[in-house]
Structure 1
Amino acid sequence: MSLNPPSSATESPIDAASVDTAITSRMSVRAFLPQPVPRETIEHLLQLASRAPSGTNTQPWKVYVLQGASRDTLVEKCCAAHDALRADPSLASEYREEYDYYPEKWVSPYIDRRRENGWGLYGLLGITKGDKDKMHAQHQRNFRFFDAPVGFMFTIDRVMGRGSLMDYGMFMQNLMVAARGHGLHTCPQAAWNGFAKIILPHIGAGDNEMLVCGMSLGYADPADKVNTFITPREPVESFTHWLT
């Protein structure tokens, strides 16, 4: 299905309520149904996502779609590495992220929000502090794409600057919001980044490519209680400064 670009800057918004709903209903789903997603649908979502803005229209995104055997084999490789890392923490030096997603030093209010997120999720799942087995198993759900039938790996050319990562975020947000319009859900995942040395050769990425993150795509499992976990958002007045 082809899409027509905007005809002009004066084109009127269409069905604002549906756009609002697509944005507000987006969440990080952590349990998916095995129901397959047609290739045509995935292609359509990616074409929609490609309308994201980027500095001087550089369009720095490169997407790898994993389904079937390619998906399952990557899951096996990364789950095995995750288990090995737990058994031998000294292997951590082999599995490092290529860029810092999180800060080296956490400060308030960010550490407070992070803790609230962790306590909320693990509390819902009945995972108590110190229960390392359950924590490991839940973390490994990332490397199973939360059972989603479709996995994405996003890469970027290493020559690009920091601004291109901002462009990439807008591309991914377009993809996630577009997915909601088609009854699908997603989960963007930086958890994969530490296993780039496994992922990049698996997907056939070039030496010039850096892993940005992964993402799960599929139909949410409405029966799994993990999907009742909704993260809060700060009110507008807490992060907005009006200058007149």
Structure 2
Amino acid sequence: MGAGASAHKALWENASQNDLNDFVKGLSKEEAAKLAAALQARHVAAPLGIREMSALHATHSFNASKEIPRQVVKDILEGLRSVPSSANTQPWTIVVVQGATRKLLSEKIVAKFDAGEQGAALYADLPKDMPARMQKAVDAYAKEYDAFLGDDKAKLRKGCEFFGAPLHLVVCAPKGPCLEESPPVDGVFLDMGSAMTAMSFSAFDLGLGVHPQFSLAKYDGIYKEVLKEKMPDDHFVICGLSVGYLENDQDPRKTPGFVPSKLSVDDTTRWVNCDAEWLKTHGDAVTGNSEHGLKHLVHSRHCSHTLDTPRPVPYDFLASILRLGRFTARGGGTRF
């Protein structure tokens, strides 16, 4: 491999998505055509579900005038019944907010935002001290999001308006195990993350845009005021999930918005405890042997209790699974 090839390989492995975009833009038409041909030759079609997971992103602009049929919402929530949870507790309570109530909730949150009253969440979304790679991810996210906002700082206010989404799902957790027990039952928070991911995948697979809004948990008091008896007194807001169609019937899976750079698999994985020979193995884990989408995967998910222990899982299989973890919702881009 020549020096030029080595430089390109290092760029590919270490650069951010923006760096790669700039690199491609700087190529001549002939160079770009050669790169496209080389990538196409090496491309192996992944199953539909994996392709869609890799395309998941947060939508920042919805079609406010196009309502979501109730049956579609039920289909999204139906997937929660298949999400594994600690001892089958299923701790989530989802409050569906639409129509006049959604409008009132948004207006009250916007009024607080305009008055400079940020409120405070009942749980910490970021640790006080973060390992270097987590701090690196958070800093990169903040920088890239600031560049995405540009001069349009009004986009921050649009978050309080649910980015125009006609449907807002409020993900609530019980206060007792999360806030009042000592130590808190962290498994509930893990279960809530699984619930958020399942709902996001199901909505995305149905052609709907989604935007997890952890920052809205700081307006827990407003949620309680507006939703009243519809939100259990012994619950608190974990996150809001805004859902809706895109303008001009665009498919969110083909029309990405803001997609921050992701840490590499090796940044968040330690392989040192694996056999050297196993790490060299390759398999066909990402070949297109299935066209099942995300909604099917969410609804058919279950915990396996009988595994073929003598049969090793190839390194490539595991690495492809871990790459998808980069597309799940998380606070501030931390990737804990």
Same fold (TM over 0.5): yes
Question: What pairs up with 1:90-239 in 2 under 5 angstroms?
Answer: 95-106=119-130, 108-127=132-151, 134-135=152-153, 137-160=154-177, 161-204=185-228, 205-221=231-247, 227-239=256-268
Q: Give the C-alpha shift of residue 172 in structure 1.
A: 1.1
Does the Cα contact within 8 Å between 2:145 and 2:260 map onto a contact in 1? Answer: no
- State the structure with more CA Rg: 2
CA distance in 2, matches of 1:118, 1:30: 16
Q: Deviations over 1:174-208 (max 9, x none)?
A: 11111121111211011111111111231222321
Q: How many residues align?
A: 214
Unmatched runs of 5 consecutive residues or more in structure 2: 1-45, 178-184, 275-336
Question: Is 1:53 paired with 2:84?
Answer: yes
SS at match of 1:159: helix
| TM-score, normalised relative to structure 2 | 0.59
Which letter maps to 1:142? G
Kindly indicate whether the alpha-carbon contact (under 8 Å) linking 2:61 and 2:164 is maintained by their aligned counterparts in 1: yes
Write the letter of the residue equivalent to 2:213: Q
Q: Aligned pair 1:26/2:43, yes or no?
A: no
Which runs of 5 or more structure 1 residues have no equivalent in the other structure?
1-15, 86-90, 128-133
| CA-to-aligned-CA distance 1:82-102 (integer Å, 9 cap, x gap) | 1112xxxxx55xx21101111
Distance across 1 between alignment mates of 2:187 and 2:162: 28
Task: Report percent identity of matched pairs.
Answer: 24
Structure with more contact order per residue of length (Cα contacts < 8 Å, sep ≥ 6): 1
RMSD between aligned residues: 2.2
Displacement of 1:106? 4.9
Partner of 2:102: 71
Alpha-carbon shift at residue 227 of structure 1 (Å): 5.0
Deviations 1:59-118 (A, max 9, x none): 000001111101000010000011112xxxxx55xx211011112245532233223222
Deviates more, 1:164-173 or 1:199-208: 199-208
**What is the CA–CA distance in structure 1 between the aligned matches of 2:93 and 2:257, rounded to whole Å?**
32
Q: Cα distance 1:178–1:61, how it changes in 2: closer, same or farther (>3 A)?
A: same
Shift of 1:228: 3.0
Q: For 1:233 and 1:72, locate their aligned partners in 2 and report how far apart those are by CA, in whole Å.
A: 34
Q: Give me the whole-angstrom Cα distance separating, in 1, the residues matched to 2:104 and 2:216.
A: 15
C-alpha distance in structure 1 between counterparts of 2:159 and 2:239, whole Å = 12
CA distance in 2, matches of 1:206, 1:49: 19
Q: Are the structure 2 counterparts of residues 186 and 158 from structure 1 closer, same or farther at C-alpha, using a change threshold of 3 Å?
A: same
1:131 alignment partner in structure 2: none
